[in-house]
């Protein structure tokens, strides 16, 4: 597998006051979906701060197709998640035009590899 095709992402999440348990339930559902349905998801790891109100999700996908598959799979949960938390995100890699459009439509910032900048 070429690492140049991989897509890496970070989601930054702030839980709304009093909604932590709902968020945990939805996050667990996301993890279940990834494990059961996404062989192209290489990493999907949650991290939280000391009080549990700020979370990071580190994500890594085999390629753009796997990233799109993930977006399709958890898309139905995004409305519920938006009720319990605020999310921002950034992606590193060279996404396909389809993935780039989907990411940008969701407000995700895309960072291209800097190799050509030197």
**pLDDT tens digits for 64-108?**
999 999 999 999 999 999 999 999 999 999 999 999 999 999 999
pLDDT for res 4: 81
> CA-to-CA distance for 62 and 84, rounded, in angstroms?
29
Helices then strands, counting H and E runs in the chain, come out as 3, 5
Q: Which residue has the tokens 């996908």?
A: 61
Q: Is 40 in a helix, a strand, or coil?
A: coil
**pLDDT tens digits for 15-40?**
999 999 999 999 999 999 999 999 99
What is the pTM (predicted TM-score) of this model?
0.91
**What is the CATH T-level fold of the domain 3-117, as seen in this structure?**
Alpha-Beta Plaits (3.30.70)
């Amino acid at each position: 597998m070429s690492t140049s095709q991989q897509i890496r992402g970070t989601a930054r999440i702030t839980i709304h006051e009093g909604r932590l348990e709902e968020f945990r339930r939805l996050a667990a559902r996301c993890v279940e979906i990834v494990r059961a349905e996404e062989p192209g998801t290489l990493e999907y790891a949650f991290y939280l701060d000391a009080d549990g109100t700020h979370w990071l999700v580190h994500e890594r996908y085999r390629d753009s197709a796997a990233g799109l598959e993930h977006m399709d799979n958890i898309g139905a949960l995004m409305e519920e998640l938006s009720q319990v938390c605020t999310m921002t995100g950034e992606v590193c890699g060279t996404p396909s035009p389809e993935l780039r459009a989907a990411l940008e439509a969701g407000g995700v910032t895309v960072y291209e590899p800097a190799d050509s900048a030197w």
